[in-house]
Structure formats: structure tokens, C-alpha cells
Amino acid sequence: MEANGLGSQDFPELKNDTFLRAAWGEDTDYTPVWCMRQAGRYLPEFRETRAAQDFFSTCRSPEACCELTLQPLRRFPLDAAIIFSDILVVPQALGMEVTMVPGKGPSFPEPLREERDLERLRDPVTVASELGYVFQAITLTRRRLAGRVPLIGFAGAPWTLMTYMVEGGSSSTMAQAKRWLYQRPQASHQLLRILTDALVPYLVGQVAAGAQALQLFESHAGHLGPQLFSKFALPYIRDVAKRVKARLQEAGLAPVPLIIFAKDGHFALEELAQAGYEVVGLDWTVAPEKARERVGKTVTLQGNLDPCALYASEEEIGRLVQQMLNDFGPQRYIANLGHGLYPDMDPEHVGAFVDAVHRYSRLLRQN
């Protein structure tokens, strides 16, 4: 039994640990696979469940999050579940208003414009207590999974969260957020520290609630070049991993594998491989063999089929998966897409992707 009764919630025994074994760098009988945004609008049942309420109300309903998380697992033999939530619950918990505008995406009516706006933010120490609904969703889902596959928790990385808080929504250039980095470096670091201080207890709380792995999404890495990335993103990515690991140990919780996915951050691949994460996620712009050469044998790679490949015929998907698996090699590898599933994708083609990974990765091991 772990200390504090945390993490010792007598969850059902795990029947399929292939994803976790691959994440830790152990050998597996086949390549495990899951999809970013596997609980998403491409599923008619997802659209049906979501139709009733607005986006963030859904995020605040453990019952709804659980249902949405489990939907893709009823259709496909995925090797992991990822809790349905959103990275922007953290800025919300810091006191910022966020709405999800249908067809447009997230919107902050009062973004951070001046340095003094940082004073509006709540103490990051209180954030985890504001996000109890995520922990409840994780515990409920972990029980209902009944040990079928592991459950992944997640959060957005500090720089990516900062972009939304400063831009007030999505942006093609991130010019406002980058203006902060150039004009207000000290205030930028202050904001990134606040976010890091909020993320650490939030991620530890997810593990205490039942998450068996954690993924950090640095979705907007590509807007930073190598210099800005190593100054304003990487130190916080490292800090999150280091502090989460230390806090898990202090709480008497078993370690869980950490995944870093820095989209378009290929210029920092070596640094990410040494940032304290067991798994490095790749987008589709990176050649798997080159990535493997650059990161060495110490980390597991995850990815990286172009999501748009799922528009191809099922035959072609099989061929592309075969190529991808050959390039990554059989071990220290988790198959995924190079980004999330898009709403107009055919669930049958998602099924074809999952099946192709399982089928071909078993063949690869026989030869």
C-alpha cells in the first residue's frame, strides 16, 4: 500500500500493459497503438454525447468525460485510453475566463495584455484544488476500464498555455505571445513559472487519482526557433518532469512514464530526449530513422503517421503503417499519429490503422 492512501485505490488489475512496457523501454510482443484525440468528433457517438452541453461543462462532468474516454475503446482494440479533458482547464483554474466558440475554438475574452495582468492570476498552489473534477473523471474512468488498458493523463506545457493566455485564442503566428518573449522576458519567465507551479501538483494529482502515464503537450513548439525554445520552453519542460518525479516519490506513489510531445519541435529533438521523459512524441514532419539516430537508445519514440493519411484507402493505410513500423523498428516504440484525429475522419479508417499496427508489428517480430 502506498503512503497517504494515494494511488492505493485498489483498482482492477491491468490485463494489457503493452503500452506501459514500451514506454519504459521493455520488449513487447507487438507495437502498442493509441491515437491523439481518439475521443473526438470523428465518432458519431461522441457528437451525440457532446451535443447536450457546452464544451467546458462537459470537461467538468466526470460522468461525461468517462463516457467520452471509453467510446473509442468500444470500437477499436487500442492499447491505451487518454482521459477526455482540455489543456485550457489550467488557465481557467488560474482564474482566466475561457469559452469554446463552436467553429472557432477557444477564446479568452480578457487575455493577458500587460505585465500587471499577471496579478489577476490565482496562486498556482490552489489550481489542483480547482481541478478536482478532472481527478474524479480519472478515478471513475480507471475503475470502468476494469484493467483493460492503461489510462493516460495529460496537460499543456507552459509555453503552449502562455500562448493561449496572451493571444486570447488560436493564432497562426503567435506574434503577441512572442512579443512578450522579446519585450518582456522577465514577465514571460514569471508567467511560465506560475504555469509550471500549477502543472506539477495537477499532474501529480492525476497520478494519485489513477493515471498510469502522463503526456505533456507542447503543441506550439514550432513557433519558437532553437534559441527561444531553449530559453522559454525547454527549461520548464525539464522542470515539470523533474518536479513531478520528485513529488510522486515524496507522496509514495509509483513512478509513471512521462511523454513529451513538442509539435514541430524537431530542432530540439536531442534536448527533448534528455529532458527527463521516457517517451518522445514525434509529428509527421520527422523521418523516424533520423529521429532514432538522433535520440539514441535511451528513450521510446511515439508517433508519427500524418493524420491525413487516414483519408487514404484502407489498403494504402496498411502500406503506410508497414513503412512506418519498418522505419521505427520493433522495440522502444509506440505507434500513434503525428497529431490528433480530425473531425471529418472515417472511424473505419481509424480501425484500419489500429489493426494494421497490430498485424504488421507481430509479423515484423516473427521475421
CA-CA distance, 90 to 323, in Å (whole number)? 38
Band of the pLDDT at 367, cuts 50, 70, 90? confident
Residues classed as catalytic: 37, 41, 50, 86, 164
For residue 6, being part of any structural domain is answered with: no
pTM of this prediction exceeds 0.85: yes
Q: Provide the domain limits for residue 181.
A: 17-364
Q: Is residue 9 part of a domain?
A: no
**Position 240 in a domain:** yes
pLDDT in tens, 263-292: 999 999 999 999 999 999 999 999 999 999
- Identify whether 5 is part of a domain: no
The answer to the question of residue 262 being in a domain is: yes
Domain for residue 8, yes or no?
no
Q: Collect contacts of 245-248 with beta carbons under 8 A, ≥24 apart.
A: 245/276, 247/200, 247/201, 247/204, 248/204, 248/207
CATH number (domain holding residue 282): 3.20.20.210
Model pLDDT for residues 188-246, shown as the tens digit of each residue: 999 999 999 999 999 999 999 999 999 999 999 999 999 999 999 999 999 999 999 99
Average pLDDT, the chain: 96
Chain segment 212-227, per-residue pLDDT in tens: 999 999 999 999 999 9
3-state helix/strand/coil string of the chain: CCHHHCCCCCCCCCCCCHHHHHHCCCCCCCCCECCCCCCCCCCHHHHHHHHCCCHHHHHCCHHHHHHHHHHHHHHCCCCCEECCCCCCHHHHHCCCCCEEECCCEEECCCCCCCHHHHHHCCCHHHHHHHCHHHHHHHHHHHHHHCCCCCEEEEEECHHHHHHHHHHCECCCCCHHHHHHHHHCHHHHHHHHHHHHHHHHHHHHHHHHHCCCEEEEEECCHHHCCHHHHHHHHHHHHHHHHHHHHHHHHHCCCCCCCEEEEECCCHHHHHHHHCCCCCEEECCCCCCHHHHHHHHCCCCEEEEEECHHHHHCCHHHHHHHHHHHHHHHCCCCEEEEECCCCCCCCCHHHHHHHHHHHHHHHHHHHHC
In a domain, 7, yes or no: no
pLDDT, tens digit (0-9, with 9 covering 90-100), for 135-158: 999 999 999 999 999 999 999 999
Query: pLDDT tens digit string along 99-146?
Result: 999 889 999 999 999 999 999 999 999 999 999 999 999 999 999 999
Say what the pLDDT of residue 239 is: 99
Q: Is residue 2, in this structure, part of any structural domain at all?
A: no
Cis peptide before 336 (omega within 30 of 0): no
**Amino acid at the residue 299:** V
> pLDDT class for 52, splitting at 50, 70, 90?
confident
Split into its structural domains, the chain has a count of 1
4 pLDDT exceeds 50? no
Q: Is the pLDDT of residue 167 over 90?
A: yes
